[in-house]
Structure 1
Amino acid sequence: MGRITTLRPVTRIALGEGVRRRADTLSVEEPLEIRIGGAPLAVTMRTPGHDVELAIGFLVSEGVITDRSDFLAAIHCGGPGTGGAENTYNVLDATLAPGVRLPTADESRRFYTTSSCGVCGKASIDAVRTISHHDVMQDDVTVDAEWISELPDRLRAGQAAFAKTGGLHAAGLFDAATGAQLVIREDVGRHNAVDKVIGWALQEGRLPLRGTVLQVSGRASFELVQKAVMAGIPILSAVSAPSSLAAELAEESGLTLLGFVRGRSMNVYAHEHRVRIDAVTRGDAPVQEGRAQR
């Protein structure tokens, strides 16, 4: 397995205090090529670690697999230019069950991604609207706003690598009924962190993820809503803003979308019926119309 963090010499400049040279801990970012049966499918920039979960989550998000039985095995293999002799841990070859429909060549060409932006575009929008096997709209789970407000701190407490680098996103999955933390994953790409969570869930036989809340450390992009819906997650909570397309897809798909979950406030952008607000939290104050707080 590759390194998650690395040391690099830096020059620290503090105005009025001076200049100091020291080592700084950085998050590692390296490419991962995902193959199926030896055929290249996707390339993403990621933080090494939990690569199999990442690949599985990616395949779930893109509608290639839907059940634990669809995925048989995965192995790291030699990367380009190594002649296959040296294992760089940057190429992962997955084996799927017989009968699983593999992406066509045209579909594979849209799978080349970066750590800052997941797979997106017209094809992905159509995919999540037409091939999701899990009906999020029918999940009647509800959660307390008070409990939701605690999730960012719980997520941060589980970010071991972030504490060293300050440079990784995280995604955490929580059980809405018990409040239990199920899994937390970190990555330089927010969509990769979510894929790792979904990959873990498929390996554990937990899909669809009914009755769960996905908490993410950054903004709520279209890709994250797409991945949540494809995994059957009914509630997505983010510490920053959603995009307009993310809110539209959440509304259409039946997913409860929260943004700016910070301290004791939050904005609900879609399907607020799943968020309970008791009298103490409300302060019995009347609902006021106005611009949402940032």
Structure 2
Amino acid sequence: MGRATTRRPVVRLRGEFETSRPDTVVVEEPLEIRVDGKALAVTMRTPGNDIDLAHGFLLTEGVIAGPEDISVARYCDGVGEDGLNTYNVLDIALAPGVSPPDVGIERNFYTTSSCGVCGKASLDAVRLLTKHSPAEDTSIITSETLSSLPDTLRTHQKIFESTGGLHAAALFDTEGELLVVREDVGRHNAVDKVVGWAVQNSRIPLHGTVLMVSGRASFELAQKSVMAGIPILAAVSAPSSLALDLADESGLTIVGFLRGDGMNIYTRAERVTITHAHATADAVRT
């Protein structure tokens, strides 16, 4: 299995002092996802939880609806210079009767660690593929619980502690209980790994949950939330306009700039109950 981190030499400058020492950096390698032996996607990811990643990717792209749609997932030969399997090629065999993905010129499945799946950023595409819309989810979470999520996520970012170079995604219930955390050099991969965990544990749709991400709330992360039936997407940074358009249409709650006791609730604010502490703080600022 591939390693998530590696050691590289570095010259460190701190003021007038210079030292040479090895440093821990995050690994970024390509993963080719095949479906029934045919190449579907290549994504730049951090090795680890690749089976989760593939399951989450296939669900959020509308290829599968649940774990019953996959019969087997296995690594293929991907031989490196040392003659060993690189574990960078993963083949997914669909269950009998499951239609293979329709890949045409409108779908570009080469992804980088930063941009996600480009070429599918369209509201129409999500509308057609969505099977688990969060629109009817009546889940409620308190602002106090929301405020606690970033710190919980941060304490569980094990690889980030040693590298400082990873995104993270975590799934919580509305009481603030942590269900799963995944890290990756790509924010969309971290989310796919979380969703893939849920697929393999038969938890789709993810009603009554909150997806907490360490970066911004982009369209692709909103798309993945909607496809998995997640009602609340929370981010420490800003949302994009297209993410908010999708949230408005699909019934997704998006919370941005979730830091300390502050947050911006952009859509479906009725899912967030303002606690006394936040209400008092708002009154003082007013």
TM-score (norm 2): 0.94
1:43-58 matches, within 5 Å, as 43-58=42-57
Question: Which stretches of structure 1, 4 residues or more, deviate above 4 A after TM superposition?
Answer: 284-289
Q: Is the 8 A contact 1:25 1:165 kept in 2?
A: yes
Q: Is the 8 A contact 1:77 1:88 kept in 2?
A: no
Tell me the distance in 1 between the aligned counterparts of 2:113 and 2:276: 42
Measure how far apart 1:285 and its partner are: 5.0
What does residue 103 of structure 1 align with?
A: 101
Given the alignment of the two structures, is residue 140 of structure 1 paired with residue 138 of structure 2, yes or no? yes
Evaluate the alpha carbon distance shift between residue 71 and residue 106 of structure 1 in structure 2; reply closer, same or farther with a 3 A threshold: same
What does residue 87 of structure 1 align with?
A: 85
Task: Tell me the secondary structure at the aligned position of residue 133 of structure 1.
Answer: coil
Unpaired stretches in structure 1, ≥5 consecutive residues: 290-294
What does residue 223 of structure 2 align with?
A: 226
Which whole-Å deviations, capped at 9, do the CAs of 1:147-197 have from their partners, x for residues lacking one? 101100100111110000000000000011x43211000000000000000
What does residue 174 of structure 1 align with?
A: 172
Tell me the distance in 1 between the aligned counterparts of 2:56 and 2:21: 38
TM-score (norm 1): 0.92
Task: Tell me the secondary structure at the aligned position of residue 259 of structure 1.
Answer: strand
Tell me the distance in 1 between the aligned counterparts of 2:63 and 2:251: 22
Q: Is the 8 A contact 2:169 2:182 kept in 1?
A: yes
Measure how far apart 1:97 and its partner are: 0.8
Measure how far apart 1:241 and its partner are: 0.7
- Structure 2 letter corresponding to 1:263: G
Unpaired stretches in structure 2, ≥5 consecutive residues: none
What does residue 116 of structure 1 align with?
A: 114
Q: Is the 8 A contact 2:106 2:119 kept in 1?
A: no
Evaluate the alpha carbon distance shift between residue 45 and residue 108 of structure 1 in structure 2; reply closer, same or farther with a 3 A threshold: farther
Identity %: 60
What does residue 265 of structure 2 align with?
A: 268
Q: Is the 8 A contact 1:62 1:127 kept in 2?
A: no
Given the alignment of the two structures, is residue 19 of structure 1 paired with residue 22 of structure 2, yes or no? no
Q: Is the 8 A contact 2:43 2:111 kept in 1?
A: yes
- Structure 2 letter corresponding to 1:163: E
1:128-167 matches, within 5 Å, as 128-167=126-165
Q: Is the 8 A contact 2:166 2:185 kept in 1?
A: yes
